[in-house]
A and B are shown apart, each in its own frame.
Chain A
Amino acid sequence: MALTLRDSLHLVVEPENLDASVEEVFGLMLGERPRRLAAAEDDRTGQDLESVTAVVGFGGVLSGACVFRSSTAVAIRIAAQMTGMHFDDVDDTVQDAIGEVCNMLAGAWKGKVPDLAARCGLSVPAVISGRDYRLHVQSPEFQLAHAYRYQEGIFRVTIICDSFQ
């Protein structure tokens, strides 16, 4: 009998897979190990509003998205560290860098589950600037939302699954 993704659900929803993906991407590309914030710690920093958001869609056996969100300052710092360039504001290169970070996070996360790696595709990244929006998904199957300390700032990574086979 053919297995469906539901048979691997325990692996798909494993929170440590997301942490391991963040560690892998930031460790290899930026030489940093961001620290995941505990929920209480994240609540205290709720005023740190995001203004750069990157989204990479999942399609195939799992439909959903990987969303990366950070402040302007954190996005600039990440882009500077990736490229060795200096940025005063969020320009096309910063947006490109944040889109690639999100792309690598999505790829690393789905790569943790063999059934996902082979049968789930990734969209090209979309990057949104601005903070006056809400991310809303009607009745997601599951959602992983983690916040991480990166140098002096914070970024958030969310995996949203709206359906899977």
Chain B
Amino acid sequence: MNEVRALIVDDSSVMRKIVERALRQAGLESLVVHEAGSGTEGLDLLRGQQVDLILSDINMPSMDGLEFLRQIRLQNLAQGTPVVMITTESSEEHVRQAIQAGARGYIRKPFTAEQVKERVLPLVSTKS
């Protein structure tokens, strides 16, 4: 698989590292990771960087993941880039809101590398 540039948005630096590790375990060895600690930081990064994949938490201070997703679409950033939400929020309502806002996938924390592989790889393999 070609190099994959991923943006991981989570207010927890530990969780960003765990998500990165899970992506590598899923088979994305040629992975370039950009990290953001909030939706606002994520938007700033997307104005200057092209990425192939975005993984975002929902519960974050200053700008939550759903608003981040809406702003990506509103500001025409990262057009066509798949976004996967990785969050502790697991209700059907949260999934519905995320999909409605433009998410292509949803992974609930806690998660396994296998779940990341199943839900993320199909999204990036179509780009390579």
Using a CB–CB distance below 8 Å, which chain A residues touch chain B? 24-25, 27-29, 79, 82-84, 92-93, 96-97, 99-100, 103-104, 106-108, 111, 114, 117-118, 121-124
- B14 A97 Cβ-Cβ under 8 A: yes
Contact size class for B? 20 to 34
Q: Which of B14, B88, B93, B108 contacts A79 (CB 8 A)?
A: B14
- Most A-side CB within 10 Å, residue of B21, B59, B61, B94: B59
A96 to B88, CA, bound (A): 15
How many A-B residue contacts, CB cutoff 8 Å? 65
23 contacts between A and B (CB under 8 A): A28-B110, A28-B112, A79-B14, A83-B17, A84-B21, A96-B13, A97-B14, A103-B59, A104-B110, A106-B88, A107-B109, A108-B88, A108-B110, A111-B88, A111-B90, A114-B91, A117-B89, A118-B93, A121-B59, A122-B59, A122-B89, A124-B59, A124-B60
CB of B15 within 8 Å of the partner chain: yes
A96 to B11, CA, bound (A): 9
Closest chain-A Cβ to B19's Cβ sits at a distance in Å of 11
Majority secondary structure, B binding face: loop
Given contacts A24-B110, A96-B12, A124-B11, contact A29 B88 (CB under 8 A): no
Q: Which of A82, A83, A117 contacts B90 (CB 8 A)?
A: A117
Given contacts A82-B18, A93-B14, A124-B61, contact A104 B89 (CB under 8 A): no
A29 to B61, CA, bound (A): 23
Task: Please name the 7 residue pairs, one residue from A and one from B, whose CB atoms are nearest each other, closest first.
Answer: A107-B88, A118-B91, A117-B91, A28-B110, A118-B93, A111-B90, A97-B14
